[in-house]
């Protein structure tokens, strides 16, 4: 009997202490359960509950990383993402907060920045914007192959919005695949996307061209250009 409990304890200790030694890998165990006292709700469809969270926790000052409403900025974003794991703006705010504080786990956060992205993807695998935000995060970290996998999911989600195309173009720009970046820029601007940032980036390096009729080419992400991916 004592030998049995010794083995069980060894397994438990492996999961508690060994999980952190798996490098940068995130998984369901490390990133925790999605169960929450309030929610979890889908940011895209559960609009009735959203104003409560936004009013008390995800205020403009929290989103702009100025100050928290109930504690630290990280704690308020954490509350928002536990209630709405795929809250697009809150996910982007958590990524920016990590960058601002130069840490993988900002003060007040229950998880690492990447865990919030993993939890969102696990919560709603069909959410193209979550895949796009995750892809952008990975591209900035120099993890090009993983970024392309998530970008594939974003495009294949069928969302097809100007915002998704625009941000996909930005990600491809970071990955130095300017041909695909230009193709996504054309798609976004043809759909009326208002911000000129991607066009200006491409112009600055001499890669901008006015769209032609066949702008559908190069839209599907691939790994053909991975050798050109470099860490920013």
pLDDT mean over 53-76:
95
Q: Give the residue among 149, 141, 140 at the shortest CA–CA distance from 222.
A: 149
Q: How confident is residue 26, by pLDDT bands cut at 50, 70 and 90? A: low
Residues written for the chain: 232
pLDDT value at position 29?
A: 65
pLDDT value at position 217?
A: 46
Mean pLDDT score of the chain, rounded to an integer? 81
Specify the residue for token string 């998530």.
150
pLDDT value at position 186?
A: 95
Q: Give the residue among 95, 221, 219, 217 at the shortest CA–CA distance from 149.
A: 221
Q: Is the pLDDT of residue 212 over 90?
A: no
pLDDT value at position 213?
A: 65
pLDDT mean over 162-171:
87
pLDDT mean over 107-127:
95
pLDDT value at position 54?
A: 93
Q: Of 13-17, 20-24, 217-221, which gets the smallest average pLDDT? A: 13-17
Q: Is the pLDDT of residue 104 over 90?
A: yes
CATH number assigned to the domain with residue range 128-228, chosen from the 4 options 1.20.120, 3.30.43, 1.20.58, 1.25.40: 1.25.40
User: Rg of the chain's alpha carbons, rounded to an integer?
Assistant: 20
pLDDT mean over 183-207:
94
Q: Give the residue among 83, 81, 116 at the shortest CA–CA distance from 98.
A: 116
């Amino acid at each position: 009997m004592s030998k049995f409990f010794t083995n069980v304890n060894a397994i438990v200790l492996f999961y508690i202490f060994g999980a952190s030694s798996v490098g940068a890998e995130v998984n369901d165990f490390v990133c925790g359960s999605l169960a929450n006292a309030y929610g979890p709700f889908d940011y895209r469809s559960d609009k009735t509950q959203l104003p409560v969270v936004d009013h008390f926790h995800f205020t403009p000052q929290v989103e702009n990383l100025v100050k928290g409403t109930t504690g630290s900025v990280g704690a308020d974003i954490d509350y928002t993402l536990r209630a709405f794991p795929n809250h697009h703006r809150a996910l982007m705010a958590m990524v920016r907060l990590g960058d601002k504080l130069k840490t993988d786990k900002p003060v007040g956060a229950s998880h690492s920045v990447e865990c919030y992205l993993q939890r969102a993807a696990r919560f709603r695998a069909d959410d193209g914007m979550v895949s796009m935000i995750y892809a952008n995060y990975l591209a900035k970290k120099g993890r090009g192959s993983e970024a392309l996998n998530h970008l594939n999911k974003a495009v294949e989600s069928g969302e097809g919005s100007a915002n998704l195309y625009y941000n996909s173009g930005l990600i491809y720009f970071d990955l130095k695949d300017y041909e695909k970046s230009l193709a996504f820029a054309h798609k976004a601007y043809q759909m009326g996307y208002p911000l000129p940032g991607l066009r200006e980036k491409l112009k600055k390096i001499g890669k901008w061209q006015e769209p032609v009729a066949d702008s559908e080419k190069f839209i599907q992400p691939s790994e053909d250009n991975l050798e050109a991916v470099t860490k920013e």
